[in-house]
A and B are shown apart, each in its own frame.
Chain A
């Protein structure tokens, strides 16, 4: 397909826009595929699931991966550190860090700005009616069907949370 791009012809500005757009789409597709091959672990549920690396590897991959073209136009990669988006708060609740907290944390020792990483759950748009829920009878259907493991049974209340 990359070779076919050389044959593209634009007869008017609209087609020129489409032709350039096609090149960008192909670049993005190549970079996305290269990014998936670069990160040799699984993370974020079905977003990045590698059959050959099914486990999450926080020691090596709890970071951002940057993908770009080098001076030769070849796809290149590098890792960049990230900081947690949340910190542990009182009563087991995660507290979202403010942007200013990131700026403060970024001063001193950090050579380049880093982006926050979300690594703890906070809230999801799923509401469970306690009166109708039968989790206390052993039902875990909603937990099992969720592809992202958003839901879990709250053992103290015997309800999904």
Chain B
């Protein structure tokens, strides 16, 4: 973990081959 930030850009969730990764998007960003 190099940066203290998440852009909610979602490729980790989308590209995970087993669906193990979930990004909790704050309500106001949805």
Contacts and interface: CB of A to CB of B under 8 A. Distances in A.
Interface of A: 44-45, 118-122, 124-134, 139, 141-143, 145-152, 160-161
The SS class assigned to the B binding surface is loop
Interface residues of B, number: 24
A121 B3 contact: yes
Given A141-B15, A142-B12, A145-B15, A132 B20 contact: yes
Interface of B: 1-9, 11-13, 15-26
19 contacts: A45-B5, A118-B4, A124-B1, A126-B13, A126-B22, A127-B23, A128-B21, A133-B20, A133-B21, A141-B15, A141-B16, A141-B17, A142-B13, A142-B16, A143-B12, A145-B11, A145-B15, A148-B7, A161-B1
